[in-house]
Structure 1
Amino acid sequence: MNNNADISSNATPSFQIPKAYLRYVSILEFFSFKLAAAEITNRFFTPIPFKTPKREIPFIEQSKVEVIPVGKRQATLHTYGSGSKTAVFIHGWSGRGSQAYALAPVLVEAGYKVVAVTAPAHGDNPGKRTHMLQFADALKATGEHIGQIDALLAHSIGGAAAFNAVATGLDVKDLVILGAPSSILDVIDDFCTRLQLDDRYKKYIEHHLETHFYEDVEALSPRRRAAEISGIRGLIVHDKQDIDVGYEQAEALHQTWSGSKLLLTEGLGHRRILSDETVLNTVVEFLTSN
């Protein structure tokens, strides 16, 4: 997914694959490819539980917390502020709603109430495994729970979920996508590259997704879904030093998302894009420009 050649020294991936796990997969493969592939597929659906950093605690403490059902699962909502308009934020893989800690205050100042969604199997929600379509279901359940959504802001794989939620009925006025992939197949490719796996595993995961979820998995990609959400204003923000999701993903999405605006930043990587002052100001300017 990432072809960047100008990675800065302070750009680090969101997580590192332990060498012990790579050795474990190699041992499984020695005995059986199917056994190794089944383990890898389970890993593909398993978020990493990170500890909530101290900088996000004030946002959590100052928010109203609700738990809502998402099918047989649950999502957690943190509502911050009480503006006349509503902005919803959803995080990326292995993230949490409190990553809106820097975004929420500037949106509240601009007149929004902010609802941050923590997806199933993330944060304190039960479960070990989930997938992008459950993120989308969490967004639709949020819409049913809170009513009108004026702005939807989504980070990383949450961006892919946002496109799928909107394309299948979630009503929003503005959509802001930050550091998100534009292709599901590229997500699979990146995952397998990180784990040093060959094309057999890519095909295995793709086949699993198409067997259990959707017959054409790439049809769920933002750059394909973009054609289905015409009329919604869009802003794409991506950093050129993002080594989790290469910025060419944003360029590809921008080309297929008619009328969207694109902001490419420098030196923020995959996560700091959520708290950078220039990015926050650009987002607020975009949302308040109608």
Structure 2
Amino acid sequence: MSQTAQNSKPEPTVQVPKVILYTGRFLQFIAPSIAAKYAQRLFITPLKHKMPKREFHMDKNSQQASLHIPSIQKDIITYTYGNGKKKILLAHGWSGRGTQLVKIADHFVKLGYQTISFDAPAHGKAPGKLTSMPEFIEAIHEIDKQFGPFEFAIGHSLGGMALLNAVREGFQIKKLATIGAADVITDIILHFTRTLTLKDSVATKMKAILDSKFGRDIDYASASNAAKEVNIPTLVVHDEDDVDVAVSCAYAIHKALPNGTLHITQNLGHRRILGNKEVIEKVEDFLLR
């Protein structure tokens, strides 16, 4: 395990609009069950952020196509970047997009690889407004069918969680790297409802709604649970100052992995870590050694 130090502090977490906070509190006052339904709807509604200039060249120079995912009857957008014969799958996180791992993509394209990334359902240029991690996982499996085989995969945040689950379900790669991945879904829900300034009882009701929706305990898909069945070499990268996903998630995932390596950084936060030169070189060293 090593540490990367930077002088500037991590970026702050996304601020929740006051109208959403007030609405949640009002519904909670009327009935916690109504507040739980409201929160659950927000939980599966990603935000679509404007693409920053640093990603423009990848957007311009990649081959993009719409890909239908039969298992969920939704479409995603795929990005084929570079001309290498060996392929790496890149998976963005919640409210991300297919060009978000641009610095990582640029690095590996220069090394002779081709990267395949995607806008998950309801993300980026993909249609729709609602989605969830199970749909990320289904997208990964369909991409593997259409674009595979892949040498490696790299996932950020929810993308890392989805890749761990996909590998558990049979996605064949040689090595995996996760960056800033969260862990226990119940904890994610609790963090989400607390961010909305709602009572913990709302989180309990919200989880029950999601369990019913997906037909099983959603904690089955928690990263550390999936990691127990991921036998390939896996690198877990996380920043100890991540204000969106606690670094404890990385330790739990690493502990569960049969063949894991842990790399902890400092002062990079949840998103800047994706463009950090030392982190990218660490991922390269792990995947290619």
1:54 alignment partner AA: K
Contact 2:181-2:245 within 8 A present in 1 as well? yes
How has the CA–CA distance of structure 1 residues 9 and 193 changed in structure 2, closer, same or farther, with 3 Å as cutoff? farther
Equivalent-residue separation in structure 2 for 1:43 and 1:160 (angstroms): 20
**TM-score normalised by length of structure 2:** 0.94
Partner-residue secondary structure (3-state), 2:228: helix
Matched with 2:67 is: 68
Alignment of 1:187 with 2:181, yes or no, is: no
Equivalent-residue separation in structure 2 for 1:17 and 1:117 (angstroms): 26
Q: 1:7-18, aligned counterparts within 5 Å?
A: 10-18=9-17
* Moved segments of 4+, more than 3 Å: none
Matched with 1:3 is: none
- Deviation string for 1:133-157 (max 9, x for gaps)? 1011111110011120111100001
Equivalent-residue separation in structure 1 for 2:159 and 2:132 (angstroms): 10
Equivalent-residue separation in structure 2 for 1:105 and 1:220 (angstroms): 31
2:155 alignment partner AA: A
Matched with 2:134 is: 133
Offset of residue 32 of structure 1: 2.7
Matched with 1:147 is: 148
- Deviation string for 1:36-57 (max 9, x for gaps)? 2211110010001111111111
Offset of residue 170 of structure 1: 1.4
Report the more deviating stretch, 165-174 or 132-141.
165-174
Show structure 1 runs of 5+ residues with no match.
1-7
Contact 1:117-1:139 within 8 A present in 2 as well? no
Aligned residues with identical type, % of pairs: 35
Matched with 2:284 is: 284
Report the more deviating stretch, 129-138 or 161-170.
161-170
Residues matched between the structures, number:
281
Offset of residue 29 of structure 1: 2.3
Matched with 1:5 is: none
Report the more deviating stretch, 137-146 or 10-19.
10-19
Equivalent-residue separation in structure 2 for 1:179 and 1:162 (angstroms): 13
- Deviation string for 1:18-71 (max 9, x for gaps)? 122111112222223222221111001000111111111111101011111123
How has the CA–CA distance of structure 1 residues 14 and 68 changed in structure 2, closer, same or farther, with 3 Å as cutoff? farther
Matched with 1:262 is: 262
Contact 1:236-1:250 within 8 A present in 2 as well? yes
**TM-score normalised by length of structure 1:** 0.93
Contact 2:88-2:154 within 8 A present in 1 as well? yes
Matched with 2:179 is: 178
Alignment of 1:240 with 2:240, yes or no, is: yes
Matched with 1:249 is: 249
Contact 1:91-1:97 within 8 A present in 2 as well? yes
Matched with 2:94 is: 93
Offset of residue 200 of structure 1: 1.3
